[in-house]
Amino acid sequence: MKRGNRSARDSLQTLHALRQHLRQLPTSPQPVAPPPQTPPPTAEPDDSALFRQAAAGTRPLERPTAPLPRGLQPPRPEAFPLQHVLDEQAVLREAMSDVLDLDHLLETDAELSWRRAGVGADVLRKLRRGHWAIQSEIDLHGLRRDEAREALGQFLRTALLREWRCVRVIHGKGLSSPQREPVLKHKVRGWLMQRDEVMAYVQARPSDGGAGALVVLLRAARRAPRG
């Protein structure tokens, strides 16, 4: 055999063996696993976070406060007797009714004066002449009926506490009222007659208000007997 033919045959065998080897290899490349990732470093909690975590579920203690010196302590607010005030207002409304017949209670004089049973007629004369000095007054002119009634009741209560004997009640002449009727003027006279502390009243003198005011005499303060 010739040398050239043998070399060609050896080359063909080598090529055939290479093809057989390639056929045995897998058709698709195997996936390569990614390299393991290193987890990011975690931030270390600060001291306040560690304290809150350790104190979870607990309640902070109240800080004790040192009392102020006696001279620097603020005064305690006075208790306001709201219910007592409401009760007194209800009593005032009930004790001063608008339903009252004045014809049989008022004296038949031009001034429409009035005196309680047991009070002498000389008291009215002294009251007209200014025998008792007027110690205080209240002006109801311009108020509505309910406002005037409540204001008058409070004024009379104050008069008793301060032991006033003679006061003036200004009710106005009623010239600005509807149909120019003195509604408040008549109401005030009726209210005064229903108050136990009112002993008498007369129309004020012209210098003291005339037909727009009343001079009212109140009972003297009741002194407690000495033991």
In this predicted model, what pLDDT tens digit does every residue of 187-210 receive, in sequence order?
999 999 999 999 999 999 999 889
Is 187 within a domain? yes
- Domains of the chain: total: 1
Question: Is the residue at 138 inside a domain?
Answer: yes
pLDDT at 171: 93
Where in the sequence is the domain holding 191, given as residue range(s)? 97-218
Task: Evaluate whether 209 touches 168 at the Cβ level (below 8 Å).
Answer: yes
More confident residue, 57 or 133: 133
Q: Does residue 15 lie within any of the structural domains?
A: no
Assigned domain for 109 exists: yes
Could you tell me which of 110, 177, 101, 97 has the C-alpha nearest to residue 140? 177
Instruction: Confirm if 186 and 106 have CB atoms less than 8 A apart.
Output: no
Identify the CATH number of the domain in which residue 184 sits.
3.30.1370.110
Indicate whether 118 belongs to any domain.
yes
pLDDT-derived band at 154, boundaries 50, 70, 90: very high
Q: How far apart are CA 120 and CA 162, in angstroms?
A: 25
Longest dimension (CA), the chain: 181
CA distance 19 to 157: 129
Q: Is residue 186 part of a domain?
A: yes
- Whether 130 maps to a domain, the answer reads yes
- Has residue 102 got a pLDDT over 60? no
Q: Return mean pLDDT, the chain.
A: 77
208 or 95, greater pLDDT:
208
Question: Looking at the domain assignment, is residue 27 inside a domain?
Answer: no
